[in-house]
Amino acid sequence: MPASVDLPQWIPPGVAGPVLVGFSGGLDSTVLLHRLAVDRDVRAQGLRAVHVHHGLQPAADDWAAHAVQTCAALDVPLEIHHARVQRDAGHGMEAAARHARYAAFEARLQPGGILALAHHLDDQAETFLLRALRASGVEGLSAMRPWRAHGTGWLWRPLLATPRAHLLHQAREQALLWIEDPSNAGLDPDRNFLRHAVLPRLRERWPQAAEGLARSAGFAAQASDLLAADDVEAFAAARCDDPAVVRVDVLGSLPAARRARVLRHWIATLGLPPLPANGVAYIEQMLASKAHDGDACFDYAGTRVQRWRDLLHAGPVRAPLPPDLDLAWDGTSPLALPDGGALRLEAGALALRFDAPLRVHARRGGERIRLPGRGHHHSLKQVLQMLDVPRWERAHLPLLSAADGSLLAAGDRVLSAGFDQWLRTRNARLRWTPPGRT
């Protein structure tokens, strides 16, 4: 019997990519999969499912077998993905499992495809409460969106306006079979505590509590969308050619509330973890500080926000080049560096190599270099300061030296007189790609 759960038509016109269902085998995803399986339009677009095997529960193999049987009965292609959950990532087991799950989904989402997840109205209410208790702003209180861009495709939550009680009624009416995760019955983590201890008490007093909380999330989403356009405009004035860098003076000219929103927008555009509740306050202190030596920084979740003079930089915390780095390079092919950076000798279509292999090494201090047009040597440290090379770049700056130890280049930021002339006569250039850049 076809499911009677209605799927709102949130898919915009012109989006007709294949649909990938995240299928855990639980109640919610079971109802969603059955509903999509009888939808002719979805079938025509292409319908697949993926089950993520976390290996965290003793019955995980049985759940995977159940997923195989269910999808076979519905003639829906299924892939079982055995995820590696990073138990020591420092964010808790639930967050680590969620990260592994979404990574599996995104890896299997075709360009322009649609990832369908079975979050429902009660999930939305729980998310709103969790975000409010963590002092989230309007973006956080927006909770989950029914439809948004995701990776190379889209994420669709067609059941977001449907209460779980309605899904349970439909599943029982159709005699569907689903699995129960025993971890959902405990009072830990926080979401389960809200689900089993808090929301039931709220419903005793306010029967429509979940609906009201979910509606508030919708209002927050509307407010967020209205503010976002002005955020983008303010951010455009503050950004630099390097997307990881913004201008302190422009940020300082903004009202505090707008500045906080622009900072969060900037971090989001870089694909970095969202700033924690105290993150903006720490950055405000950096912006107000008169110390411009690059020591002011804020670290969180493997991310560092750091000030250098009138610039603010954000990116993953990366280990510097090893102090004992010493590689031979002839220039014929790109040289991958241990920190994720790279060196290239570019000469158009011509094959080019150095007259003799050069040494590529890390800074050790005390280096000196003779610049083009100068008759004497300068301290490399002073040259880098004069060129305003930020400290976050200096820790990763590879040096090139000749066999006799004379310094030829510091990345592509500083070239010696002789090396600059060698490149010019061959119409070539040295290109350094810092870690994290494409």
Phi-psi region of 237 (alpha: psi -120 to 50; beta: other; left: phi over 0): alpha
Residue 168, class by beta-carbon neighbours within 10 Å (0-12 exposed, 13-18 middle, 19+ buried)? middle
* 373 assigned to a ligand binding site: no
Order of strands, sheet of 414-415, starting from the edge strand that comes earlier in the sequence: 326-329, 358-361, 399-401, 407-410, 414-415
CA-CA distance, 199 to 88, in Å (whole number)? Answer: 31
Nearest to 217 by CA among 279, 294, 161: 161
CA-CA distance, 118 to 22, in Å (whole number)? Answer: 8
Residue 218, Cβ neighbours under 10 Å: how many? 17
* 29 assigned to a ligand binding site: yes
Sign for the pseudo-dihedral over CA of 39, 40, 44, 45: negative
Tokens standing for 134?
């963590």
* 406 assigned to a ligand binding site: no
Q: What is the b/e burial string over 140-157, where b = at least 16 CB atoms within 10 angstroms of the residue's CB?
A: bbbbbbbbeebbebbbbb
* 26 assigned to a ligand binding site: yes
Residue 93, class by beta-carbon neighbours within 10 Å (0-12 exposed, 13-18 middle, 19+ buried)? middle
* 142 assigned to a ligand binding site: no
Q: Which helix (H) or strand (E) holds 308?
A: strand 303-308
H-state helical runs in 206-349: 209-238, 248-252, 256-269, 279-288
Give every CB contact of residue 159 below 8 A, 6+ residues apart in sequence: 5, 7, 28, 31, 32, 118, 119, 120, 121, 167
Is there a contact between 399 and 393 (Cβ–Cβ < 8 Å)?
A: no
Q: Which residue carries 């003076």 as its tokens?
A: 249
Binding residues: 24-29
Binding residues for ATP: 24-29
